[in-house]
Amino acid sequence: MVIAISDLVGTYGARVTLVSAVVIVLRFLQEMLKVRLLFYRLRKQGLPMPKWNFAAGNLQMLPDLMKRHPKGSQQSEAFTLLSYDFASSDNCFYIDVWPFTKPLLVVNSPDLAVQACQTYALPKPPVLAKFFNPFAGGPNIFTINGSEWKRNRGLFNPAFSASNILQHTPHIVEEAQEYVEILREHARKGDTFTLDKMTCDYALDIIGRVAMKARLHSQRGRNPVAAALRSQVEWHCQDEQMNPFIRWNPMRPIMQWYNGRTMNQYIGTELDKRYEAWRQSKPSTRPNSIIDIVLAEYMSTRPARATLDPEFKSWATTQLRTFLFAGHDSTAATIVYSIYLLSKHPEILSKVRTEHDEVFGSDISAAAGILKQHPGLINRLPYTLAVIKETLRLFPAASALREGQPGVYLQDKTCTKYPTEGLCIWIIHGGIQRNPNYWPDPHAFKPERWLVGPDHPLYPPKGAWRPFEQGLRDCIGQALALLDVKITLVLTLREFDFQDQYAEWDRLHPRSGPKTVFGERAYQIPQALIVESLETGAFAPCSQLSGAESPSPTTIVSCCCVYSLSESIQSFVVYANLYYGYKQNGYNPIFRCGHYDGKGRIGECISSKGRMGAAVFTTGLYIDMVLSLNTPTTSTLEDGALGGCHWDIAHTNRIKSAEQWLQEADTRGWHTGLGSLRDRVNSLNPVTKLTEDQWTGSTPVSTAKQSYLLLFLDGDSYSVRPPSIHGSGAQISD
């Protein structure tokens, strides 16, 4: 009888599985038929679209399109390039790339953008809510529509008003001073580094301060909410991937849930603090952070309680998560691109510096104090603002999506009507702002566009500048973003000279294929592709600084690195790429030397994470090995810098200390420069720059016949011998 029941259950389960599979396939085919019929009708009407067929839609043209752009660049830039094939329709066209996304009407025309966002005020599509949910955790001011959006926007408008935001100038300046100090440290060392990541941390610190009156300190250390948010960005941007194994990674929902819980717990604690401060203070003395103002507005019609209303707490947490996500990356990108463009145009940089001298005086060190005392001076910088606007024209942070509606048609200058029902309208800000039909010399950096009169050929056309969008749904945080960028430029541009390092990168890492977008080596990418972009010299240019008593610049060619993969796990596996280990474990490295994902950092875990149990060793773009307490032996990757070689791993229980081991290794002549490394490790100073003579005396790391020693300490110590290559490797006995 037991066997019979088991057989019955097994048969039933198989049938359920089969029926479920059939239902999924039928729904897939139904949706496919719906989309293909829609585009069949659009094509019959003669509306613009790339080459299309019923079986694949427009998917067959994507590979050739992507080949015209560098690997890993934003899809919006590829579609902007494609729009030039549709000049007769004002660079607008339909495209069917289902099932990767909903059918699209791609808009690169200011006229059609005005109609979609202002004339008809079309709603945000559900697909946008799906995209934002992992960041926000639920319905938020960015994705909701109708009366609910109006109510929420009304609550936040006073907090985001220009006058209130200006009152936060002292707080922003304080975070900017920390940012400047980190730049000074880089300048003194003369090293090469990526500006994007440290600027993202800086922008997060600003938003935390302004939104929650909380010091995140993510510029100097690992903050839980900042680390969780960055991890969420990296996991979620896999939606940009066409590779289905990456796009639908089963680990992604687990990591998104974990990151979301981390953010909720942190923000919830901060909200409880703000509520208690609200209860204990008088209205005239209450703080003016965004959440303080919203809390006061919310409680104005409700009785005070001992604890914060759970419903409001959940709602406020969602909105704060939205602001942290939407504000930090876009603001950071604008800062980085402004610096990058000014570094390429010294004549424009000179004008900006002159303006700053005129407003704040020639004493650079006094600017921060002046700004704190007189915030209104920041609005007396017309040329600086023109530089920022021109940067946002060339490199807008995002685009806009709207949902088409029955009976709504967008009309171009030729009176062609574009149906919107059943479609997402993708308004590509970069495409509009580089549209040659509206912008003379559209790819040139010309701040003068924003200083000339309406009769001048360079004068910006109406509705064509949309980095913050326009209409009722424009960006609520634009005043804060512009203030952040202006303050940052005031405090950095006169003290530092920035220089991109793409030429050196190309020399060290030659590759074929396109390297620029619209003639620029710096271009936008999805955050999840940051490793690919750095390997091709893309967004977030490596910078070298001079100033702050800087020595002559030293470019790091390649370095060993040691890397802590997590803060709590005690055993590890070999990862194919260092960035993957970073992403998997949500670890935010503090010290860096040249690369966003940690390649080139020396001794970081020794100096900052001494309780962990693993180290990662690399001499190039790939990990050579991972050493942990549970890893007796391992080999290098075949495509690594020392592919095909093996490591010997020696247990050093008998050695009293790593310091003693380093001293002995140094006296044996095993490695020139170990004494310097020993001193740095002993003093717990992070090693973020090692010149060639410190490592080898004469041999560049990238061509050396051995890899180099770093230790990770956790009770018992481990050491790694250099591999023997054709009998030339030195041998050390413990």
**DSSP states of 325-352:** HHHHHHHHHHHHHHHHHHHH-HHHHHHH
- Does 153 lie in the same domain as 33? no
Joined tokens for residue 346:
């010294």
154 shares its domain with 22: no
The pLDDT of 628-654, averaged and rounded, is 30
Q: Give pLDDT tens digits for 665-707.
A: 444 333 333 344 334 333 322 333 333 333 333 333 332 222 3
94 found inside a domain: no
Residue at 248 is within a domain: yes
Tell me how far apart the alpha carbons of residues 274 and 227 are, in angstroms, rounded to a whole number.
22
Are residues 283 and 201 part of one domain?
yes
Q: Examine the domain organization and report whether 308 and 420 are in the same domain.
A: yes
Q: How far apart are CA 311 and CA 327, in angstroms?
A: 24
- For residues 152 and 275, membership in a common domain is answered with yes
Average pLDDT over residues 356-375: 96
Give the domain extent around 449: 115-508
Residues 160 and 274 in one domain: yes
Task: For residues 186 and 263, state if they share a domain.
Answer: yes
Which of the listed residues 29, 46, 63 is the one where a domain comes to its end?
A: 46
Q: What is the CATH number for 493? A: 1.10.630.10
**Residue 542 annotated as lining a ligand binding site:** no
Q: Are residues 23 and 164 located together in one domain of the fold? A: no
Q: What is residue 306's three-state secondary structure?
A: coil
How many domains, the chain? 2
pLDDT above 80: residue 645: no
d(CA 305, CA 595): 49
> At which of 487, 508, 529 does a domain end?
508
Strands (E) across 33-101 are located at 93-95
Q: Which residue, 33, 80, 123, 72, is CA-closest to 431?
A: 80
Taking the C-alpha atoms of residue 97 and residue 74, their distance in angstroms, rounded to an integer, is 16
With respect to residue 481, please indicate whether it lies within any of the assigned structural domains: yes
- H/E run at residue 205: helix 195-212
Looking at residue 309, its pLDDT comes to: 86
Within a domain: 316: yes
Number of H helices, E strands in the chain: 26, 14
In this structure, are 18 and 165 located in the same domain?
no
Tokens of residue 516, six digits? 């620029």
Select from 491, 508, 525 the last residue of a domain: 508
Instruction: Note the pTM of the prediction, 2 decimals.
Output: 0.71
**Banded pLDDT at 279 (limits 50, 70, 90):** confident
Q: Is residue 287 a part of any domain in this protein?
A: yes
| Tokens standing for residue 443 | 């790819």
- One domain, residues 35 and 166: no
Q: Choose the weakest-confidence range: 243-247, 328-332, 352-356.
A: 243-247
391 within domain boundaries: yes
Instruction: Give mean pLDDT, residues 446-466.
Output: 95
Report residue 621's pLDDT band, with 50, 70 and 90 as the boundaries: very low
User: How does pLDDT run across 80-119, given as a tens digit for each residue?
Assistant: 888 888 888 888 999 998 888 889 999 999 999 999 999 9
> How many residues are given for the chain?
734
Q: Specify if 61 maps to a domain.
A: no
Reported as a pLDDT band with limits 50, 70 and 90, residue 247 is low
Q: What is the mean pLDDT of the chain?
A: 72
- Shared domain for 253 and 374, answered yes or no, is yes
Q: What whole-number percentage of the chain has pLDDT above 90?
A: 36
Task: Tell me: do 26 and 131 sit in the same domain.
Answer: no
Q: In this predicted structure, what is the pLDDT of residue 527?
A: 47
519 lies in a domain?
A: no
Per-residue DSSP letter, 124:
P
